[in-house]
A = this chain, B = another copy of it.
Amino acid sequence: MTEAQHDALRVEVGGAAPYAVQVGTELLASLEVPQLARALLYDERLPASLVQSVRGALGPTVEVALPSGEACKTLAVMTEVLSRLARANLPRDGAVVGLGGGATTDLAGFVAASYLRGVAFHTVPTTLLGMVDAAVGGKTGVNLPEGKNLVGAFWPPASVTCDLGTLDSLPAWVFREGAAEVFKHGLIADATLLPRVLHADFRAGGPGLARTVADAIRVKADVVTRDLTEQGERAFLNFGHTLAHALEAVTRHGVPHGEAVGYGLHYAALLSLAVGGADVTAHTRSFLAWQRPAPLPELTFEDVWPFMARDKKADHAGVRFVLLHEVGRPYLARVPEGTLRACFDAWRADVRGMTGADMNAEEHA
């Protein structure tokens, strides 16, 4: 174990196949994977030095540069990657290593789950979103034209390595994007995270960053340890996500996931209030004011409703939402369509005034 690994924070994830998440700095160059044959799948836009560091540690049997971000999450890309692994004769006792943001690791995980009916998966998230959301819990998958994450597998990783140094290469809005999932974890389970998100410096090495990231991961780790395949409480992690997924789908992923979640958290807060819960909209308003997401195109309830209806939390009786009785007390319920529509209009009016709009345009460009 290197000194950097020794200093890293660890979060344990339990269940049928337990694994550990490491959170620290300078972890990449000493990345260890027990399997002798390795496929390295990485986001093609990662800094070359970062990829080279992992390449040096792994000595991959085969490597595939993936289209950057959400563009890799298609069955067409997956088909090509699987063929590359087959042509390299990656064996059943080999491993797939995913290096990149949440989209990259979602695709890499589904490749690992499906290639030869499943090989070991190691994930190395390089974005805050990837660390606090995608890396833990074993959800992998790709999108369909009909909606996001409609295809995939539960395939927990063998290891998760969160090197905070990877965050340095990304623009500030990407941090604020990923912070939506940290804030969400605060809303459903750990109120102490809420002020830490709004005041912490998410730049690598900023005070308390490793602790905040590890605590946000722990919220998810505890939930998925108890409920891997979303029979119950795991659904709570989808707080804010029903509208978020619809916004992503209707804009064809023009809205980054974390900003869609930021928007979705406020809609879920409005719904929670409308059906009798505590008013947590001050929190979600504060978050949006801090996150400054890019403005949305003009959208009506009719635009997003077909995508919300296709949400994975739907069953034959209709779509269900994660709501809050109050901070830390989530529950799952159906909401009358009239309420969904009224809250959508209220949400639409609210967020018009709260986005980054002009001041953010330059950063997003």
Contacts and interface: CB of A to CB of B under 8 A. Distances in A.
A116 B312 contact: yes
20 contacts: A37-B316, A75-B75, A75-B79, A76-B79, A83-B144, A83-B146, A86-B146, A86-B147, A89-B309, A91-B315, A92-B313, A113-B153, A114-B151, A114-B152, A114-B153, A115-B150, A115-B151, A117-B151, A117-B312, A118-B153
Interface residues of A, number: 41
A83 B142 CA distance: 12
Interface in A66-85: 75-76, 78-79, 82-83
A83 B145 contact: yes
A139 interface: yes
A144 B229 contact: no
Given A86-B146, A115-B151, A116-B151, 10 more contacts: A75-B79, A75-B82, A82-B144, A86-B144, A93-B316, A113-B153, A115-B150, A117-B153, A117-B229, A118-B154
A89 B310 contact: yes
A310 to B, nearest CB: 6
Contacts of A89: 309-310, 314
A306 to B, nearest CB: 9
A279 to B, nearest CB: 31
Given A75-B79, A114-B151, A151-B114, A91 B314 contact: yes
A36 interface: yes
Copies of this protein in the assembly total 2
A199 interface: no
Q: Which 7 A-B pairs have the closest CB atoms?
A: A86-B146, A93-B315, A75-B79, A117-B152, A91-B315, A36-B316, A37-B316
A136 to B, nearest CB: 16
Contacts of A315: 91-93
Nearest to A92: B312
A89 B118 CA distance: 28
A154 B79 CA distance: 19
A86 B142 CA distance: 13
A141 interface: yes
Contact of A117 (B115, B147, B154, B316): B154
Contacts of A79: 75-76, 144
A149 B94 CA distance: 17
Interface string A132-168: 0000000101001111011111100000000000000
Contacts of A229: 117-118
A58 B144 CA distance: 27
A86 B117 contact: no
A73 to B, nearest CB: 13
Nearest to A145: B83
Contacts of A118: 153-154, 229
Contacts of A117: 139, 141, 149, 151-154, 229, 312
Given A75-B78, A144-B82, A146-B86, A316 B91 contact: yes
A36 B316 CA distance: 7
Contacts of A75: 75, 78-79, 82
